[in-house]
Structure 1
Amino acid sequence: MSGRKVFKRIDWLTVLFYLLLVGIGWINIYSSTFSGINFSVFDFSQLYGKQLIFIGLSLISILVILALEASFYERFSSVLYIISMVLLLGLFVFGKTIAGATSWYNLGFFNFQPSELAKVATALALAKYLSDIQTDIKNRKDQYYSFLIILIPAFLIIPQPDPGSALVFFSLIFVLFREGLPLYYLGIALLAVVIFITTLMFGTIWVGIGLALIIALFFLMKKASFKVPILPLVSVFVISIAFSLSVNFVFNNIFEQRHRDRFSLWLRLEKDPDKLEEIRKTIGYNTYQSEKAIESGGFFGKGFLEGTRTKGDFVPEQHTDYIFSTVGEEWGFLGTTIVVILFTMLLLRLVYLAERQKNDFSRMYGYGVISILLIHYFINIGMVIGVLPTIGIPLPFFSYGGSGLLGFTILLFIFLKLDANRLNEWG
């Protein structure tokens, strides 16, 4: 497809959402890193200046993505996946440690985080595997291979340690559900989450009592035409209790103290109010200050460059994972609402684009993009406002960082290229 046709067919509404989020993000990065000294906007020694460089590189990457044939992304998806896995493995030898995680390559002028490339490559590889004519997601073997594509990068990232980035890969399971993965997998996942949380809050005994009551309710509700499968229910009960017992062991013996403190803060596990407040102001310091910054913004905010908590560096990492708190303090409830609406409209637009695809690979990749952006958006904002535990993943297109912005840009514009080519066929 010629360049003129690409620019004619590209979904400009999605491009507009992208540009608005990148632009608003940069304004808040500028505000959160501005020291009060009269530096130039184009001072590339400052973080906001460096982000301008990353924005420029992202715009160049868009031109490269749109220039390549759409068939390239499907044809070479497996190669890109293998390269990204090799880069993740290389971190164990050549990686640079930043903030306790060995997740980066030091390229001199730029710290490169290969997990961002791995997200794109994994979404492409999963879409390629699922769209192959012989793949049937209702077949157990194909299900296991699909899970393996997702699990390999996640398990390579967990030991860095970077559990936040690893969690993002699990969001790709939603692609499998869109393509017909049986819903009982979702039931198993939800049951595991519920058991994990209730075990920490109430203990294994109460989990067992609760499960026993639910099973008893099944029997009480049975009718002549409804036969209750006894063996599967007993198996679920036994496995659930075993999992509950393992939760306590993992929490007390494998989790680090800082992880236990974060869960204690999130689930209010600590009964001593004084100790809970101490945890809140130490381990939960970032979230505590972030909440205070957002609260202080009120409805209209304090104004651009007028955030006292932002200027006082009360919120650590405010230009990266906690950038949303700058929006809350300086632009208030009105500003945060606009940002949330923009992200929501972007995601809804991507759902629309994914559903109109003529090519299975394009549709599946589109849902991979949606899944990755959604979990970043949901967890980051939930973390900043204190309703989710601190995990440490950036807000797409918004947070400071070259690897993140480039990764999200590539992720999105590959899909826009595929969408622009949806009326064409390729081999």
Structure 2
Amino acid sequence: MKKVEVYSVRKPNYVLINRLELTGNTGSLIKQFETGKNSSVELKNLATEEKVALKKPEPKPRTLFFPVKKGEEGIAANSKPITKEEAANRILGAVRARTKLLASKEFNDASRQELTYKSANSKIYGKKFYRGIEGITLSVPDRKPSTPLEGGAKKAIGISDRWIALAPLNEQSPKFDTKSDNSDLLGLRTMIYSTVVGEDVMIALNAGESLAAILFNNNTVEIKDFENSTKDLAELHKIATYLIDIKLENMAKNIKLENMVDDKNNSVKFIDLESRVRQGLPTTPGITFENTTIGLLQQFTEISPKIIEGKEFSPQEKNSLKTYDEYALLMTIVAATTKDDKLRQSMIDPCVDTKEFCDPPQYFDYPGAMNELNEGLMKQWINENVKTEYHDYAENLLKNPAQFAKNRTENGFENTSLSEILIFQPSS
């Protein structure tokens, strides 16, 4: 008899999402500014539309031009060669003027701003720059992706080694929320949030290749690369913020730049954080159906009215949301670090109760990703990568996360996190 190859199929999104009655994503907070063309500066409070005019110091060229032909395109016709000393003084004057402007009370008192200025002798004449909430200057990279980079609702429109700019995937995709808030993510270096500079553009640090792409190219990552990631997630959970959308596609690592300036350890980063859940902030969250179960979805459904209305969560609801994240993250860590193809595939495409059928067909109703199909391989991974006293924690989390969430307080795991149970450095 000819063997028919069968692939596991998850229940359609509309079937699962109808149970939650939730759609859409949130965006990110940004205090923004944009370079413009006048010697005066107009600050615009994007929340109130109120405009405040400031007088800019005497304009100085922002870019140095050495001897050029008169009338060259983009250069003033009366441009003249300048000495290095004159050039240095002009650059210093421009830097001081800009620094003074950005430190001005009027600029920093506005809740949301955009700053406009341009220099006649600038190679970046007309290019837009924005100010992030940590004072970082951003701009849309000029280079287009060599291959299309698209997600469920966004696509990349510009990319550089440091930045990536995103736009809605198509006309039907939701616009970005320019009034959202990223203050909960400040200081967490593995949380790569996007700065929304307009309803059609957001800019984020380029976190590198997604883990999905790394695995597709037959590479893996080390478990130590998740140490900072798990610690940052634990910090978010302490303030009742939950990502809810953790999967291989939403985690990334820059495998080309092993010694990054802002992260010497080059940790795996969380990306695409706009759909996270925050206590006290009305949100219509997006969630992943890849790393979840019917039990977790049922618990999420019960909590969803509080999420949408921005109400405080009960201790048990916090347990459920925390478990939702930890189950998805532990599956991602196993898939990204294991050298065993069968175990990796069972984490990427688990036979759980959100599926319509699996291969073999009779196995599709398990309440968790660890089950009789992969139990031996999974226990071996846990023995090697989880502290002995927390083996039960990891096994129960992966076998039945919904039940694990219900028993979390009773079992003394309410305040325990993945950052505490995993072994990130091999014993000497």
Normalising by structure 1, report the TM-score: 0.22
The structure whose RCO (Cα within 8 Å, separation 6+) is larger is 1
Structure showing the higher strand proportion among its residues: 2
Q: Which has the larger radius of gyration?
A: 2
